[in-house]
Amino acid sequence: DEEFRNAILIVGSEEGTFYEPKNILVANMVVVAIRNSLLEGVSSKSYKQYGSNTYLNDFSIKEITKSAIEYFSKIDLFELSNLLILDESKDVYRNISNKYPTAMKALIELSKCSESNLEHDYKKLKTKPFELEELNNVLTDEIKKTVYESGIDSTFNDTLCNLLLEIKNNDSQLFFIDSFKMCTRNYEKLLKILEFVLTHDAYFLTNNYFISNTYVSRRKKLLKASHTTEEAFKKVSSLYEVSNKYTKLYS
C-alpha cells in the first residue's frame, strides 16, 4: 500500500532528507522505524530505564542511523517485501494508524505534496472531536517553558497538556513545533496529538509543514529538523514559506 507507506514515511522526512547516502525513502524508513525507537531511550538521561548500561551520545546515534541507511540502500526492499507473509494482527503501524483516521488522512494528503505541488485542499472527514484522557487531571502550569524528556516517552506532561487544553477551550488555533521529532519520536503519541488538534479544527504547524483537516502544505526546500530550541526559533521568521494559508492567518 504505497499511499499508506508514504504517509508513515513523511514523519521521518525532516531528518531523512538530509542523510547520506541520498536515498530519501530508505532514509525516512530508517528514521521512522529505527531512529524513532527505543534507541531514543538509550540516548536520553534515563537510558538505564531502557535496559542499557551505556549512554549513547549524539555522534553514536548518527553513526547508527547512517549505517542503517547504507545497509538498507543496498537491499531491494520491493523484492524482499514480495517474500513476506503478512500477518495483519502484527501490522503494528497499520493497527496504530487505524485508531486515528483524521491524523492519517492528513498525513496521506501531506505525503502527496512535493516541490512542484506545495499545497492542496481535501475533503474533511466527519469525526467527533478526539478526547485525551491525559487532559482530565492536568495541573495548570507555565506552558511556554522547554521540557526535556525522552523523545520516545508515551506520556503527556503538563506543559503539553496545557497547550492542548488551549486548543480545546478555543484559546488557540495553532499547535506549533519545530518538527515532528521535536514533538515526539513516539509514532502513536504523534498521531494522538495530531488527531486531537485536527478534530478540534485547529492547525498543526512545523517549520516545514502546515496541516489542517481540510488543507495541507509544505515548504519547497525542507529545513533540517532542529537539534535545540535555539535552532528552532531562528527558523520562525521564514514560516511564510510553509503555507499561503498560514501567511493569511498569521501575517
Residues 155 and 241 in one domain: yes
The residue among 40 and 213 whose pLDDT is bigger is 213
Q: Is residue 22 part of a domain?
A: yes
- Per the structure, how many domains does the chain have? 2
d(CA 108, CA 211): 11
61, with CB counted inside 10 A (0-12, 13-18, 19+), is middle
Range of the domain at 73: 2-94
Residues 214 and 152 in one domain: yes
- Residue that the C-alpha cell 525532516 belongs to: 14
Residues 151 and 244 in one domain: yes
Residues 152 and 85 in one domain: no
Residues 192 and 232 in one domain: yes
Which of 55, 75, 94 finishes a domain? Answer: 94
pLDDT in tens, 93-140: 999 999 999 999 999 999 999 999 999 999 999 999 999 988 887 766
Which of 94, 112, 132 finishes a domain? Answer: 94
d(CA 225, CA 223): 6
d(CA 14, CA 232): 13
Residues 174 and 87 in one domain: no
Beta bridge partners of 203: 174
d(CA 53, CA 66): 23
Residues 217 and 128 in one domain: yes
* Residue type, position 117, single letter: N
Q: Is residue 49 part of a domain?
A: yes
d(CA 102, CA 100): 6
Residues 87 and 132 in one domain: no
Q: Is residue 113 part of a domain?
A: no
Residues 56 and 11 in one domain: yes
Model confidence at 174: pLDDT above 80: yes
Under the banding of pLDDT at 50, 70 and 90, the label for residue 170 is very high
Residues 144 and 240 in one domain: yes
Q: Is residue 85 part of a domain?
A: yes
3 state SS of 203? strand
Residues 47 and 148 in one domain: no
Of 67-71, 135-139, 231-235, 247-251, which has the strongest mean pLDDT?
67-71
Cell of 36: 524513532
List, in sequence order, every beta strand (DSSP E) within the chain: 119-121, 174-176, 203-205, 209-211, 215-218
pLDDT in tens, 42-68: 888 778 888 888 888 999 999 999 999
Q: Are 245 and 210 in contact (CB under 8 A)?
A: yes
Cell of 80: 524482499
Q: Is residue 156 part of a domain?
A: yes
CA 81 to chain centre: 25
Residues 70 and 133 in one domain: no
Q: Is residue 103 part of a domain?
A: no
Q: Is residue 211 part of a domain?
A: yes
3 state SS of 235? coil
d(CA 67, CA 230): 28
Q: Is residue 78 part of a domain?
A: yes
This prediction's pTM: 0.91
